[in-house]
Amino acid sequence: MCVVIPGVAELVGDQPVTIADVDAVLERTRAKLESADWPYGDRQLGMVLVWGIAPKDLSRKAKDLAELFEGKILSQLQDPGTSETEQFPTRTFWHGMGGETGNIMLDIYFLAEAGLPDSALVPAGNQADWRGVDSSIPGDCDTSEQP
C-alpha cells in the first residue's frame, strides 16, 4: 500500500533537514491513515518503508528527511503501550524517480491474515508513480501530490 504525505519539508542544499511544522505533518499523516474511508484500519501493520522524495543531487537530504519523519512522525503513530516486538518495523530510503521534492512516500506492508473481506485487501495494481496514477484504485499514490 502506498501513501504520500505531501509538503513535509523543503530540502535546501546547504541547510539542515527539518520538518518545519511537526504537528501539521503529524495531523496530515493521521488524516490519511485514519480517515473514515481508509479501508485498512483493522489491518495489522507488518512494516513501513519511508521514502524521502528528491532528485539525485539531494538524495542524502531526502534520506535524512525519511529518517526524521520516521523518528518524529511515525514514532508518534505507534501505540506506546505495546511491547517493542508488537510495534511495526520501519526502514528509510531515498526515492528519486520523480515526484515533489520534500514529500514522503510510505510503502505500507500488512501482516497476512486469513478471512479478510475484499475491502481490506490491497488492490493487486497498487503502485507508486508520478505518471498515470489511477486515483480510483485505493492506494495508488501520486508522488507529486501538493499539500
Q: What is the mean pLDDT of each run of 10 residues along the chain (147 residues)?
A: 90 90 94 82 84 94 96 81 63 89 91 74 58 54 76
100 domain-assigned: yes
145 domain-assigned: no
Q: How far apart are CA 140 and CA 3, in angstroms?
A: 8
147 domain-assigned: no
DSSP 36: T
CB-based burial label for 82 (10 Å; 0-12, 13-18, 19+): exposed
125 domain-assigned: yes
46 domain-assigned: yes
Residue 98 CB-half CA count within 13 A = 11
10 domain-assigned: yes
Number of domains into which the chain is organized: 1
47 domain-assigned: yes
Per the structure, the complete domain to which residue 60 belongs is given by 2-20+42-134
In this prediction, residue 32 carries a pLDDT of: 86
